[in-house]
Amino acid sequence: MTAKTVFILNGPNLNLLGAREPEIYGSDTLADIEAASKVKAGELGLSVDFRQSNNEGTLIDWVQEADKHATGLIINPGGFTHTSIALLDALTAASLPKIELHLSNIHAREAFRQKSITAGAANGVIMGIGAAGYPLALEAIKSLIEGQKR
């Protein structure tokens, strides 16, 4: 991995994007989002390691890997946003810049979705603008990375 690698981690059910509730999550597939993220990262002088898992432990392992091998982390924790103290602990332990990302506005959703357990470990949160949030998250993470170097 290059010195400017950003991990983009996607949680449970995000592999179903494009088919799962497009009225909420949009019609872009995860492959579409990955391709657009790689283009944007290249424009910003970054590289992307883009991953998705439905397993909490795998996401935790990847957060720990990112902390050792990447310069930034963007995470869409999916349903683990609202339930995973273990993922929060991993994110809190990671010292690299972190952005939490959501396709939908969790504050406009069902009551159980309105609280993010994991957001407190992130430098910032982007939500509610669908797939367009990924390139914005890359711009934000680049800014955070550059801020660390000053």
Report the greatest alpha carbon distance in the chain: 43
**Phi and psi torsions of 5, nearest 5°:** -85, 135
**Phi and psi torsions of 98, nearest 5°:** -135, 140
Which one of 25, 69, 107, 134 is the catalytic residue? 25
* Residue 107: count of CB within 10 angstroms of its CB: 12
Alpha-carbon dihedral 95, 99, 8, 97, rounded to 10 degrees: -30
82 is catalytic: no
Rg (CA), the chain: 14
d(CA 110, CA 106): 8
**Which residues are part of the catalytic machinery?**
25, 102
